Every structure is written in structure tokens, then in C-alpha cells.
Structure 1
Amino acid sequence: MTASPIYIQIHNQIKREIESGKWVVGQRIPAERKLATDFGVSRMTLRQAIQTLVDEGILERRVGSGTFVARKKVQEKMSGITSFTELTRAQGKVPSSKTVSYRVTTPSLSEMEKLHLDEKQLVLRMERIRYADQTPICFEVATVPHQLVQNFSKEEVTSSLYHVLEEHGYAIGHAQQKVSAMLASEKIAEYLKIKRGEAILRLHQVTWLTDQRPFEYVRTQYAGERFEFYLEK
């Protein structure tokens, strides 16, 4: 079995400790330097683990104060399924993407929970920058069960996953989405060609097939000035 990257193993351990009550909502976690020493890894590796937890909404950074266990946000229902490709084309723009990472690996605890998987099942985790008319709109981390897409080419999966699945007889069902605001990290700012600390929108989405199988867990960060969500009741 493919071993999880070190930063994912640290992500899992910190998540377990939060769930066990070692750190509670609103509590500041130890500084990155101390955690890196505790885990015996470089600060870069530790920072990557922390960032995945921030991206998932489990931790939150507060400028000048540190990193804290995140409070739950007020939620609002959104109707429809967000497909970047379809959404972009509907606006009369040309969608495209740049693949930053494409890896078959073991799932993190968060990915296992969202996709109803066990630790023996592999996932495909891909990171992409999504563009509309060659302007970067968002950075996306998408995780899907490897078994579902193992017979598809990388080009098929990264171009438009929904379209490829439908072409192969799968019917897309419903999705659950959560939107929140955050500030752009240095990495995200570089990817989206914005300034570090600028406001961005973060979308978490889990999508199901009509047979009630969750097949996609996506964490997307949108350049706030280039994208807006429209809610209809």
C-alpha cells in the first residue's frame, strides 16, 4: 500500500487530538516551531500539515495571534451542484486548468470521513489551478476514490471529471457545500496572482452519485474579487 505523505500523517494526528479534546474550539495550538520539534519534522513539513487543516476549516489562523481550533460557522444552503467547467462556460468564458499535483495515495482521516472509505482504500488527490479565459480563478484540491477513476486517463480526469463520469454511465446526484471567507496564504496568492492576505472564498463540497455513493471531496479557494456565489431560495 502507498504510504501517506508525512504531512498527511501529521494532519491526521492533530485532527485526532482535536477530536479527543486535547485542544478545544477557540484554543490556540502550540507554535509551529514546537510542533515541528515534537513531530521530528522540518517546519516546512509541519506548516504544510497545518495548512491542510486550515484549508479544511479545522484550524484558523489569526494574524499576529497564532493558529486556533476553528469555531463552527453559520451555514446557508446552496442549491445546485458547482461544476467549475460548466459554470465558466455558462458565463461565456473558456475554462482551463493547470495540474499542480496528481497523486494516488492513502486517504487522510478527513478524506475517509467525507468519502466513506477505510484506510485500505486508495484515493486520487489532485491539485489544480482553474482558469477562466486564462485568468486564475481558484485553487482546488479534489479527492476521489481511486477505484472509481482507475480506468480513466489523467487527461480525462483533470479536464472535466463530471463529464467523464457521465460519459461512462455514472449519474451525478446531489452535493453538500459550505462557503466561508479566509485570507490568502503565500502559496495561494502566488497561484491566483493576488496579494498575500487578500480575501478569498473557500468552498468545501462533497458530491454524491445517484446511488448515494460520495465520489468527490473538494476544497477550493477562490480569488474573492473574481468570483461570487449566487444563492436562490
Structure 2
Amino acid sequence: MSKLPVYMVMHDALKEDIQRGKYLVGELLPTEPELEKIFNVSRTTVRRAMELLRQEGIVEIKQGKGTSVVDFRAKQDLNKVTSVTESLRRKGYIVRTKSMYIDTIPASEKLAEELQVDVGKLIARVQRIQLANERPIVIMKNYIPYDKVSGIEEYTDKFSGLYEFLEKQYNIEITNASDKIYAKSADFTESEMLNVPPKTALLCIRRICYNHDKPVCVDQISVLADHYELEVSMSGRYK
């Protein structure tokens, strides 16, 4: 088994320290000379590791001031219907879609129940990977009754945010949604798609989107857990 390059080992160690809270948002990382001593590496190795962290949106490098940790997690407010794409863009990421594939499938029992259609009804399936600053972080699958989006396959690779596209192209407005949220480890296929090791933590969302309480699509979202967080406001105690 081949070993990771030294700069990747350093990158992974620093990233883990940041995720565990050793270095907080806004805090400066050790200087380049200090990192050379900590990791027993060259200045070139330090700079390659720092540049990779910068490209991932985890740190900010300012000449003469040092390298600081930034708030890199995209936040989704669960009190409003927003897509992952919209949340990433609000965070300042440049979002791009990769490997979009649109086909049709018959509705399974589960999809039929979620979309309130007959089993076997023709469903448009939209599959794609979302990149944030050129790093793949989200696997998306969307299921929509085909009679609501006839001809959608002609728009392959021509949109990024599905909700905005549905509203503009098909006059379908998403007014409310229900989410089931769970965590899982990336399997081999998911790890290959996201370019991460198998068993990397994923945050998964199974969402049913509605137009005034009528279901219009089902989303299956798997996002790298270290780049995304959910926020919800609650009031009152359950008794």
C-alpha cells in the first residue's frame, strides 16, 4: 500500500485538529517555522499543506499576518426551505455541478407513498455531484413525477440549484418541506464519488418537498459532515 505524501499527512493532521476544536474560528495557526518543527518537515511541505487547506475553505492565508481558521461549514436553517446549493452559495462557496444524469424510473412503493402517486408511475430522477470551490462535497438524487417536469432530461448540465430551476422553468414553487436527518459512513461508491476514504462521516437528508402541502419532489442528499451543519430554533417543552 502506497504511503500518503508528507504534505497530505500534515494537511490531514491539521484538519483533524481544527475539526476537533484545537484551533478555533478566527484563531491563528502556528507560524511556518513552528509548523516545520512540529511536523519535522520542510518549508515547501508546510506551504503545500496550507495551500490545500486554503483551497478547501478551511483557512485563510494573509501575507504578513499568518494563517487563520475560517468558519468553513455551510449552515442550513431548518426553519426555512433552502437547498444545499443555496446554503453553500450564501457561505461564499463557488458551487458547480458535476456528472449530472437524468433518467426516468417507475415509482417504488416508498416513492409512491412519499409523492402520493401510484406505484409504477413514471418518475424523473436527477443525479449529480455538487462541488464547492472545486471540491466534491454533496451527492444529490432528486425524484419528481415526470408529468410535472416533462422534458427535464433536455436540461442535463444546464442548472445547479434544483428548486430555483423548478420555479423558473416549470412554475413549481417549493413552499414547505419535511426532512429526515441521519448520519452514516460513506460506502465505497460514495467515497469514490466524493474523493474521500471509505467510512468518512456523511450527513444525510431525506426530504419531501411540497407545494402548499402537495408533494412535488423527494430529495436524497449525502453531504460531507465536516462541511455542513443544520440549525433549528425550538420553543416550548414537549409534555
- TM over 0.5, shorter chain: yes
Give unmatched runs, 5+ long, in structure 1: 1-76
Rounded to whole Å, the distance in 1 between the matches of 2:115 and 2:84 is: 20
Q: Structure 1: which amino acid aligns with 2:150? A: Q
Task: Select between 130-139 and 80-89 the one with higher mean Cα deviation.
Answer: 80-89
Mapping of residues 106-185 of structure 1, within 5 Å: 106-152=106-152, 153-155=154-156, 158-167=159-168, 168-185=170-187
Structure 1 residue 230, shift from structure 2 partner: 2.1
Instruction: Give a deviation string over 1:11-64, Cα, whole Å, max 9, x none.
Output: xxxxxxxxxxxxxxxxxxxxxxxxxxxxxxxxxxxxxxxxxxxxxxxxxxxxxx
| SS across alignment from 1:172 | coil
| SS across alignment from 1:86 | helix
Structure 1 residue 196, shift from structure 2 partner: 0.3
Q: Are the equivalent residues in 1 in contact too, given 2:108–2:120 (CA < 8 A)? A: no
| SS across alignment from 1:81 | coil
Larger radius of gyration: 2
Q: Confirm or deny that 1:105 pairs with 2:105.
A: yes
Q: Percent of aligned positions with the same letter in both sequences?
A: 23
Structure 1 residue 120, shift from structure 2 partner: 4.5
Q: TM-score scaled by structure 1?
A: 0.61
| SS across alignment from 2:129 | strand
Q: Are the equivalent residues in 2 in contact too, given 1:127–1:140 (CA < 8 A)? A: yes
| SS across alignment from 1:177 | strand
Q: Confirm or deny that 1:192 pairs with 2:197.
A: no
Q: Are the equivalent residues in 1 in contact too, given 2:81–2:174 (CA < 8 A)? A: no
Give unmatched runs, 5+ long, in structure 2: 1-76, 235-239
The count of corresponding residues between Structure 1 and Structure 2 is 156
Q: What RMSD, in angstroms, separates the aligned Cα atoms of the two structures?
A: 2.1
